[in-house]
């Protein structure tokens, strides 16, 4: 390398030559043959630069120097954080293996704002419903972003059980996929294959650039994704109930999600999902799944509550995943009650005492 002549510097000089700039692992002192002050270099330290590297999933602690995403076993706490919003970031699958009962909500509005509120409320999981909700992949991604900010696991319910939908959904990086209308063990096996890369499955690969692998930063993604992904198969027809024990036994199926509304329709009781015959059929399916020994070669029982079959009823019958509400229904009920309250007030021409009572009630109402 040619020597440098920096004539604009007039301080004391030194004469040396450049030895090596071939590596950053063991940086050597820099020196120049020219009129450069030695004062400047005496106090300088050149730090070694290391590439950003994803943390191994086996580590249980993090450091400030580890810039990789938080793994599935890290617990985030803060002295200023409300206990209702502090979540253990173990994935859903590991929590089921620990025999926890998880409580969630179905999400149909695809509103990122409502998704954030739902996440902050403390639900263990949120099912973003692309089967009955109006949103698709872009809208689901916005909800995933909002829920990730609250450390709330997301399950995506697909519009149909197909390789194309599963591939696009999986690339977004949810913790679980829910496949609708599974009626046979063959369909369950196909659903599992949609979630696995060849040769174990048929999932298309773009793992170096998609959100599921933190856009390629998570170097352990291919080694861990099967262990962390929750695969749920919905049984919601008479035909599905006939084969529910075989569906629950399929390798890779983690949960069997019961669908009482579609089941009632398939039995001819669309307008009467609480019919005794529907309940009896549902109990048959539940017992078959429970007998599959969830976590030991079988599947866990999952479902959502109805007015005549509440969340605690499901829990007592052995459900490990219970969805107790739907965002649309929660907002609908609140809106209807709000209007009803006002209309009733208009219809009442009460005394001053009654008006004072209503005012006190309104103050309580708004404070709630």
Q: How far apart are CA 74 and CA 90, in angstroms?
A: 7
The b/e string for 169-196 (b: 16+ C-beta within 10 A; e otherwise) is bbbbbbbbbbbbbbbebebbbbbbbbbb
Helix (H) or strand (E) holding 270: none
Q: How far apart are CA 129 and CA 144, in angstroms?
A: 12
Q: How far apart are CA 264 and CA 243, in angstroms?
A: 17
Beta strands in 92-186 (DSSP E): 102-107, 125-129, 154-157, 176-179
Based on the number of CB atoms within 10 Å of its own CB, is 275 exposed (0-12), middle (13-18) or buried (19 or more)?
middle
Query: In angstroms, how far is the first alpha carbon of the chain from the final one?
Result: 75
Q: How far apart are CA 294 and CA 80, in angstroms?
A: 38
* Tokens encoding 309: 């079959």
Q: Is 232 helix (H, G, I), strand (E, B) or coil?
A: strand
The b/e string for 62-85 (b: 16+ C-beta within 10 A; e otherwise) is eeeeeebeebbebeeeeeeeeeee
Among candidate residues 64, 132, 207, 243, the one labeled active-site is 132
Residue 320 annotated among the catalytic residues of the structure: no
Render 274-285 in DSSP notation, one character per residue.
Answer: T-HHHHHHHHHH
Phi-psi region of 202 (alpha: psi -120 to 50; beta: other; left: phi over 0): alpha
Q: How far apart are CA 125 and CA 151, in angstroms?
A: 10
Helix (H) or strand (E) holding 329: helix 327-347
Based on the number of CB atoms within 10 Å of its own CB, is 30 exposed (0-12), middle (13-18) or buried (19 or more)?
middle
Inter-helix orientation angle 112-121/327-347, to 10°: 90
Q: Which residues are tagged catalytic?
A: 132
């Amino acid at each position: 390398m040619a020597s440098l002549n920096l004539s604009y510097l007039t301080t004391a000089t030194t004469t040396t030559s450049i030895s090596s700039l071939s590596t950053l692992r063991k940086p050597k002192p820099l020196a120049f043959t020219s009129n450069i002050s030695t004062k400047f270099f005496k106090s300088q330290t050149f730090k070694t630069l290391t590439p950003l590297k994803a943390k191994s999933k086996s580590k249980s602690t993090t450091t400030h120097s580890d810039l990789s995403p938080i793994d599935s076993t890290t617990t985030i706490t803060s002295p200023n954080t409300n206990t209702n919003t502090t979540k253990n970031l173990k994935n859903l699958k590991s929590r089921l293996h620990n025999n926890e009962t998880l409580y969630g909500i179905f999400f149909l509005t695809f509103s990122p704002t409502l998704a954030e509120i739902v996440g902050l409320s403390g639900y263990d999981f949120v099912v973003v419903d692309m089967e009955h909700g109006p949103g698709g992949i872009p809208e689901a991604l916005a909800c995933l972003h909002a829920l990730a900010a609250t450390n709330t696991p997301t399950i995506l319910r697909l519009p149909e059980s197909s390789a194309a939908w599963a591939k696009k959904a999986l690339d977004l990086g949810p913790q679980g996929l829910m496949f609708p209308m599974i009626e046979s063990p063959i369909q369950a096996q196909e659903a599992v294959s949609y979630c696995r890369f060849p040769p174990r499955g048929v999932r298309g690969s773009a793992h170096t650039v998609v959100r599921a692998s933190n856009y390629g930063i998570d170097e352990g993604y291919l080694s861990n994704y099967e262990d962390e992904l929750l695969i749920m198969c919905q049984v919601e027809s008479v035909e599905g109930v006939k084969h529910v024990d075989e569906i629950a036994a399929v390798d890779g199926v983690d949960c069997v999600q019961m669908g009482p509304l579609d089941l009632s329709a398939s039995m001819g009781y669309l307008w009467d999902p609480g019919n005794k015959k529907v309940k009896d059929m549902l109990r048959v399916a539940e017992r078959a799944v429970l007998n599959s020994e969830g976590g030991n070669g079988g599947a866990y029982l999952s479902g959502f509550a109805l007015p005549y079959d509440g969340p605690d009823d499901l829990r007592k019958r052995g459900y490990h995943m219970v969805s107790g509400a739907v965002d649309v229904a929660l907002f609908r009920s609140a809106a209807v009650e709000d209007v009803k309250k006002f209309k009733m007030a208009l219809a009442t021409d009460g005394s001053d005492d009654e008006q004072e009572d209503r005012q006190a009630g309104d103050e309580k109402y708004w404070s709630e």
